[in-house]
Chain A
Amino acid sequence: MTEKIDPEHQEQHIVGPPVYLTIVITLLVLTAVTTGVAFIDLGVFNPIIALAIACFKASLVVLFFMHIKYSSRLLKMTVLCGLFTFMLLMTLTMTDYISRAWGMW
């Protein structure tokens, strides 16, 4: 009885070609968009937009190509924990650099 709600024992969700095709076309369009935007002068927003598009593309790859959207909570939490730890390490390193006189010569 418990097996019905136990995610470890569920059948794997199979993602089909229509989903993959939609994602790959979206990714190619976004690649064209990000390259096009690079030639428009938006000041400080150029890197922000480029990275926002990159983050969105990476999310599509993780969610659909890597099946995280259809995966168990264990795998979803694993990915989130990894990203959280990465952001933590980056942020703490950056606070060190921006709060000292390093590189000010």
Chain B
Amino acid sequence: MDSHSVATAPGELVGGVDPHSHPSFLRHHFESVGQQREAASFGMWIFLLTEVMFFGGMFCAYLIFRNWYHPAFVAGSNTLDITLGTTNTAVLIGSSFTMAMAVYSAEMRRRSQLILFLTLTIVLGFAFLGIKAVEYHQKFVDHHIPGPNFSIQEFVHPSNPHAIPLSPDMAQKTQIYFSLYFAMTGMHALHMIIGISLLFFMVWRASQNAYTEGHIMPVENFGLYWHFVDIVWIFLFPLLYLISRYR
């Protein structure tokens, strides 16, 4: 490992070993595979922190508007389907588990197991997006998409006996709730679509043995991304669906 102690020409042997030999995936500016992995993880985490700030801005906006227009946010939140929301949370947690197992399979150098777990992650990712699409469709049917066709009917004359009718002025503010709902879940869904695209690419590369000969860094870093997307949902779920339920 101590390649600095002896100056050698390429091909020259030191103690019977070529000191310049290394795995093909080890870049020349790193001393070891471990150091390369550490640098890659560090870079990935810095990227994820910029993502925290990106989603954090929307969470901050949600917090402020929720305090300003609390009745509108309560009414808006109760139009969401809690069963679909809870199912989606479980689906996404399950996909995080399959992704973690994919990283483990790459570490164990088991190609078919890696492909299996990456594929399962894709399936669960699509399941999440499918359920989300059903929810979006319901909002479309109910005219709860902010804009000129938005209907405040449900909030001024609620069909739910537990709901408190809002004044037309406050009922208009539910558009802010739904704007934030679509912005936050939409950006989250976009991250999932990007993630699923990358997963398809990784299944293809995994089938070529790209990650099962020691070079697991792409799988590992993608895993960090996927778990991050899971964490965003772990916070979106209680804030959008749970904390304002009628009891």
Contacts and interface: CB of A to CB of B under 8 A. Distances in A.
Contacts of B234: 54, 57-58, 61
A31 B90 CA distance: 7
* Chain A at the B interface: SS class: helix
Given A72-B38, A74-B38, A78-B49, A65 B243 contact: no
Interface in B63-101: 63-64, 67-68, 82, 86, 89-90, 93-94, 96-97, 99-101
Interface residues of B, number: 52
Interface string A29-53: 0011011001111000011001101
Interface string A1-24: 001000111111011110011011
Contacts of B206: none
A38 B231 CA distance: 19
B60 to A, nearest CB: 6
A50 B237 CA distance: 10
Nearest to A62: B231
A12 B107 contact: yes
A61 B96 contact: yes
Q: How large is the interface on A (under 10, 10 to 19, 20 to 34, 35 or more residues)?
A: 35 or more
B103 to A, nearest CB: 8
Nearest to B238: A50
B1 interface: yes
B114 interface: no
B49 A46 contact: no
A75 B97 contact: no
Contacts of B107: 12, 14
Contacts of B89: 31
Interface stretch (B18-26, B39-47, B179-187): B39-47
A15 B99 CA distance: 13
A38 B35 CA distance: 46
Contacts of A75: 38, 41-42, 45
A79 B230 contact: no
30 contacts: A7-B38, A8-B32, A14-B104, A14-B107, A15-B100, A15-B104, A20-B101, A24-B93, A24-B97, A31-B89, A31-B237, A35-B82, A35-B242, A38-B82, A39-B245, A40-B247, A46-B242, A46-B243, A51-B243, A54-B238, A58-B234, A61-B96, A61-B231, A65-B96, A66-B228, A75-B41, A82-B48, A82-B52, A83-B52, A97-B67
